[in-house]
Amino acid sequence: MTKLYKKSEITFAILWIVAYVVLSSLADQFSENIGITKSITAVLHIAMSLILFFWIQKNKLGEKYGFCRSSIPAKRFLFYIPLIIIASTAFWGGIKLQYDILESLFYFISMLCVGFLEEVIFRGLLFRAMEKDNLKSAIIVSALTFGLGHIVNLFNGSGKDLIV
């Protein structure tokens, strides 16, 4: 992995994007086939997250990809509390899970890892590789590929039956 990264950061990022999108779609299908929603997907996302995180740490790229202390004081983040409250209003009336506890846990684990993977792959690897040459292009391409990655979820209906 390190050789490919040093040779071409953009190719490295694109391969991670393709692997993430394709393997996630396949894992969702395998999970459905065995009858335990997100079971294979959660394991895949955990594995991919750990591989990427430890590879970044091993190669001392943590600061480059944001794995360091924030320069912003923690008390400044208190301003986000109203946004969290607003975002949580959909749950105030309660939720009804469509899956059993195990499948819901797999969904939760998978979604945590998805957030990590997408931020590191699209806004980390791809954006950082491109920003050196052209910041505008890096922003546009990173945003477009991030959106295209989510179109796959739209087509396969991922998460549509999670809650009522």
Percent of the chain with pLDDT over 90: 59
pLDDT of the residue at 148 = 81
Tell me which amino acid residue 140 is.
I
Question: How crowded is the C-beta side of 134, counted as CA atoms within 13 Å?
Answer: 5
Place of tokens 């050196």: 132
Q: Which residues contact 9 (CB under 8 A, 6 or more apart)?
A: 125, 128, 129
Helix extents (H) in the chain:
2-7, 9-34, 39-58, 81-87, 101-120, 127-131, 135-156
pLDDT of the residue at 164 = 45
pLDDT of the residue at 88 = 86
In the chain, which residues have pLDDT < 70? Answer: 152-164
pLDDT of the residue at 48 = 98
36 neighbors 107 (Cβ within 8 angstroms): no
pLDDT of the residue at 121 = 94
pLDDT of the residue at 124 = 93
Residue of 2, 6, 16, 1 lying closest to 125 (CA atoms) = 16
